[in-house]
Amino acid sequence: MKIIVALIRKEFLQIMRDPSSLIVAFILPTILLLIYTYGINLDAATVKIGIKNDDSNAEISSLMASFSQNKYTSVTTYFDREEMCNDIAGGKIRGAVTIPGDFSKKLAASREASISLITDCTDISQARYAQSYVSEIVNGWLVGRCGSAAPQRVILSPRFWYNQNLDGRWALVPSSLAVTMTLIGILLSALVISREWEHGTMEALLSTRVKPIHIVIGKYVPYFTVGMCSLAFSICVMVTFLGIPFRGSYPTLLLVSSLFLFACLGIGLLMSSVLKNQLLASMASIVVGFLPSLMLSGMIFPIGSMPKVFQWLTLILPPRYYVNFVKSEFLSGTIAHNVAVNGTFLLLLGLFFSMLVYRKTARRIDVRG
Amino acid sequence: MPKQACIDIGNLTKSFSAGKTVAIENLSMAIEKGQIIGLIGADGAGKTTLLRLMTGLLLPDFGKLCVCGLDPTADKEALNCKIGYMPQRFGLYEDLSVIDNMKLYADLKNADRNFDSMLDFADLKRFKSRLAGKLSGGMKQKLGLICALMGNPELILLDEPSVGVDPISRRELLKMVKGVVDENRTVIWSTAYMDEAHGFDTVIVIDKGRSIYRGNPYDLASNAAELEGKIIELMGGYVQISSPVAENFRAKRTNVTYAVEALGLAKRYGDFHAVRDNTFRIKKGEIFGLLGPNGAGKSTSFRMMCGLIKPSGGTAKIMGIDVVEKPSLARSNLGYMAQKFSLYPNLSVRQNLEFFAGAYGLIGKDFADAIGRMTRVFALEKYLNSNSEELPLGYRQRLSFACALIHNPSVLFLDEPTSGVDVIARREFWNHITSLAKKDVTVLITTHFMDEAEFCDRISLFSKGQTIATGTPAELKKKAGAKTMENAFINLISKGEEETP
């Protein structure tokens, strides 16, 4: 016990003395939160669309008007097709609508009439927005034009649960807790065992009566504490300053977060004790920890639309479970089933990684030891 | 009746890289309790491996090893309670203070927190809250020792504790260690300093993983210099041949008289004067020694003279070129060997040599010749494909020296080049240095080996950032009224310290 206390005390002194660990724990999360809140916007913004109208029929002017009145599109009118195509190529507009000369004639004859839409698919999401806005506008115009004579249409009346304003930040910012916690859990902890190897202090530790279990606990406890402080800090900033609603329960949030942190620390310490080199361990922690929490967690890209292989891969990565949990905990409140499933998986992963850490923590300098 | 043998070794073998490198080969010996044993041996002879085997940090391939009555393989934890081990880099946490390091090791070793007497013992009381990383080499060594002594160990293992430590601190350390040895306590101390080894009760000479001598140093020689000769003989002898490095040296034509000039060099860090108004001139082909205690400002002077750090005042010239104004041009004449190993740790020996040869603009035949020559001269063949961080200490120094010499520089700056290298390699190093000097290469060198100081043409004694005496070795000894260079050093430095409190 005395040994563990001494090791923990030493680790805290090192953390306090090293400004970089405090930066990772408190400054970096703040910066990330600000970026997620004000920098990234996954919601549709105004899409720039170009229109060239070849149909001289007066009826079309009302269609043109619906385009320019729509609040999600900003419309430029072209008279020259080539100029419009050039502007697509130059990125000035995202979609180019051409109304053919016989459009109203065909429409009047009740035959099929078509409007051409060219989109710039270098940016898929913008192209999709352009497509859906254009078809929405045209359909709206058709309904208005035909009045009651229009064919029967089903009108959707949407209710947006958990996030009435469809504010993407409400989902994104809580998920960013996963990134913050991987920073501490994986990046910071990946450095600490390898540092002891590099500075030759591991050799001195191993020559005393210290056992691997002491070393492992001596690393877990301090970084767990720092991680939880950083978590509390981030939650506080989110709820009080950034106005993110929290509908769940704090004890549940802290409990599952601590399981997530436990699993992350396992990954970080595992890399640290296997690689024994700070630079390698920090690079590896970015690949194994930071990037998956951004890209394979379901935070930005839905897991369901990933290729199967990646979907399987996410199963062994803690961020997937945590992002799933934290989104619903913030926005829809505690859901017992969700908490149980994600919590159990995080606990299992944490135990699994910790066992590996324990087995990989050297008793000796020998590789076989 | 207690067992008298503290360590019992029988047919011990240990190899690395799946048997390719044999570190300890069929070693057998018994070491009795209650004495100081010096472990001497060539670079890569297996000294560190042997000490690590004794602590249980490494496992033997086969053979018997019994330390303090315990088997390091099976009873590592029990054994570690009886051992105080100080690894080569002291094992201190550099970002913790002196007292925090002591508290940590006291708790780890279940020792009393009786720090005051220990701090007095090591004379570190004034520095108790200083970070360990900010201590001088001598103070780190003493702190490492008191940490190793905690918990009253029966066996104390010190792995080259005095590498890069000045003669005054080394004397203090030896005094401290002698103070703790009694009939129940044994010290094993690996060293490259013959003056230290000569003062021990027993020396064990290891060569290529085998013990080639064990006994009282007095039986071998009556003084340290003689001991060095005897040990070289035991290790196969040293034949001085003409230095291949010097033979292949092509001097650049120059008409400067002073190859190196320091003109009022000064460096301040805040209120702290690391170097004050340092002026000296070194003639072409002269070997100029810069001696002084750890932390006197020698390395700072070196770095300023290479143009690596900017002086707060004054300047330096290399071959007449100002290092502050034209650092790159001045450095092209310079071969610099830093005190801290500063090659690429994860490149192999060959890749390091190739990099430095290429960086200094050697191409084609010159490139291949230079690398081949350096490999042969410094016996690096065995390690060509090993990463340089895995090399034994002495081989790292050889590689650094080789990289500094590879481009035939007219001026050499060598910061403790021989720290950590074995006795034979040390003679070889000096053979190259003196032969190069004969070909008009100018050498500025620091060392903590006082016998090496005798090889210098002139010496500047440096203390607390100031030159306190300059002259030939004979002049300095005369000035200090001492017979040996070591006593001259100690007298002049302590006198200098009294005068500038």
For the stretch B205-238, pLDDT in tens is 988 888 888 889 898 888 888 888 888 888 888 8
Q: Are residues A300 and A315 in the same domain?
A: yes
Q: Which residue of A has its CA nearest to B145?
A: A204
Residue B181, in any domain of the structure: yes
Least reliable range by pLDDT among A99-103, B106-110, B350-354: A99-103
Contact residues, chain A, for B81 at CB < 8 Å: 209
Q: In the prediction, which pLDDT does A149 show?
A: 52
pLDDT of A341 above 50: yes
Contact A10 B93 (CB under 8 A): yes
pLDDT of B3 above 70: no
Burial state string for B428-442 with b = 16 or more CB within 10 A and e = fewer than 16: bbbbbbbbbbebbbb
Residue B180, in any domain of the structure: yes
Indicate which of B15, B55, B102, B108 best probes the interface with A, i.e. most A CBs within 10 Å of its own CB.
B108
Q: Are residues B108 and B208 in the same domain?
A: yes
Residue A88 φ then ψ, to 5°: -65, -45
CATH number at residue B164: 3.40.50.300
Cα end-to-end distance, chain A, whole Å:
24
Q: Are residues A52 and A75 in the same domain?
A: yes
Q: In the prediction, which pLDDT does A163 show?
A: 66
H helices of A250-306, where? 250-275, 278-285, 291-295
Q: In the prediction, which pLDDT does B281 show?
A: 92
Of B99 and B121, more confident: B99
Contact A204 B100 (CB under 8 A): no
Q: Are residues B26 and B114 in the same domain?
A: yes
Q: Which residue of B has its CA nearest to A202?
A: B91
User: For chain B, what's the residue count?
Assistant: 501
In chain A, the number of structural domains is: 2
Please report which confidence band the pLDDT of residue A136 belongs to, taking 50, 70 and 90 as the band edges: confident
> For B351-398, what is each residue's pLDDT tens digit?
999 999 998 888 889 899 999 999 988 889 988 998 888 888 888 888
Q: Are residues A35 and A54 in the same domain?
A: no
Please report which confidence band the pLDDT of residue A328 belongs to, taking 50, 70 and 90 as the band edges: confident
Least reliable range by pLDDT among A109-113, A237-241, A275-279, B197-201: A109-113
pLDDT of A20 above 90: no
From B151's Cα to the closest Cα of chain A, the distance in A is: 10
Q: Are residues A307 and A329 in the same domain?
A: yes
Residue A142, in any domain of the structure: yes
Q: In the prediction, which pLDDT does A369 show?
A: 35
Which of B433, B469, B161 shows the shortest CA–CA distance to B292? B469
The reported pTM is 0.81
In chain B, the number of structural domains is: 2
Q: Are residues B218 and B323 in the same domain?
A: no
Burial state string for B146-163 with b = 16 or more CB within 10 A and e = fewer than 16: bbbbbbebbbbbbbbbbb
Least reliable range by pLDDT among A34-48, A73-87, B320-334, B459-473: A34-48
Which of B163, B117, B120 shows the shortest CA–CA distance to B140? B163
> For A58-69, what is each residue's pLDDT tens digit?
788 888 888 888
Q: Which residue of B has its CA nearest to A9?
A: B104
Q: In the prediction, which pLDDT does A89 show?
A: 85
Q: Are residues B195 and B138 in the same domain?
A: yes
Of B339 and B476, more confident: B476
Residues 6+ apart with CB under 8 A from B228: B194, B423, B451
Task: Judge contact between A206 and A362, C-beta under 8 A.
Answer: yes
**Separation between Cα atoms, residue B10 and residue B192, nearest integer Å:** 25
Name the CA radius of gyration of chain A, rounded.
Answer: 28
Q: Are residues A298 and A342 in the same domain?
A: yes
Q: Are residues B270 and B214 in the same domain?
A: no
CATH number at residue A115: 3.40.1710.10
Q: In the prediction, which pLDDT does B91 show?
A: 87
Residue B415, in any domain of the structure: no
Residue B92, in any domain of the structure: yes
Q: In this complex, which of B89, B95, B107 lies closest to A3 when CB atoms are compared? A: B107
Q: Are residues B29 and B148 in the same domain?
A: yes
Domain that holds residue A241: 2-40+167-360
Q: Are residues A259 and A336 in the same domain?
A: yes
Please report which confidence band the pLDDT of residue A368 belongs to, taking 50, 70 and 90 as the band edges: very low
Q: Are residues A11 and A101 in the same domain?
A: no
Q: Are residues A135 and A33 in the same domain?
A: no
Task: Judge contact between A60 and A99, C-beta under 8 A.
Answer: yes
Mean pLDDT of chain B, nearest integer: 88
In this prediction, residues B296-309 reach a mean pLDDT of: 87
Residue B487, in any domain of the structure: yes
pLDDT of A44 above 70: no
**Separation between Cα atoms, residue B205 and residue B9, nearest integer Å:** 15
Q: Are residues B215 and B298 in the same domain?
A: no
Q: Are residues A19 and A69 in the same domain?
A: no
Q: In the prediction, which pLDDT does B472 show?
A: 93
Q: Are residues A104 and A181 in the same domain?
A: no
Q: In this complex, which of A18, A201, A364 lies closest to B56 when CB atoms are compared? A: A364
Residue B239, in any domain of the structure: no
Contact B80 A211 (CB under 8 A): no
pLDDT of B37 above 70: yes
Q: CB contact, 8 Å: A1 with chain B?
A: no
Residue B355, in any domain of the structure: no
Please give the interface size between A and B, counted as residue pairs whose CB atoms are below 8 Å apart: 88
Domain that holds residue B71: 5-234
Query: Could you tell me the strand order of the sheet in which B202-207 lies?
Result: B83-86, B155-159, B186-190, B36-41, B202-207, B210-215
pLDDT of A327 above 70: yes
Contact B110 A209 (CB under 8 A): yes
Q: Are residues B198 and B317 in the same domain?
A: no
Percent of chain B with pLDDT over 70: 99
Q: Are residues B9 and B112 in the same domain?
A: yes
Which of A170, A181, A179, A168 shows the shortest CA–CA distance to A329? A170
Q: Are residues B229 and B261 in the same domain?
A: no
Residue ending a domain, choose from A87, A118, A149: A149
Please report which confidence band the pLDDT of residue B1 belongs to, taking 50, 70 and 90 as the band edges: very low
Query: Residue A242 is which amino acid?
Result: L
Residue ending a domain, choose from A116, A149, A182: A149
Contact B93 A363 (CB under 8 A): no
Residue A368, in any domain of the structure: no
Q: Are residues A188 and A322 in the same domain?
A: yes
Contact A363 B104 (CB under 8 A): no
For A246, counting Cβ atoms within 10 Å of its Cβ (0-12 exposed, 13-18 middle, 19+ buried), the class is middle
Q: Are residues A206 and A322 in the same domain?
A: yes
Q: Are residues B222 and B266 in the same domain?
A: no
> For A267-299, what is each residue's pLDDT tens digit?
999 988 888 888 888 888 888 888 888 888 888
Instruction: Please give the sequence-ordered ranges of beta strands (E in DSSP) within B270-388, or none if there are none.
Output: 272-283, 287-291, 313-318, 321-322, 334-337
Residue B386, in any domain of the structure: no
Q: Are residues B112 and B218 in the same domain?
A: yes
Please report which confidence band the pLDDT of residue A260 belongs to, taking 50, 70 and 90 as the band edges: very high
Q: Which residue of B has its CA nearest to A280?
A: B346
Q: Which residue of A has its CA nearest to B156?
A: A207
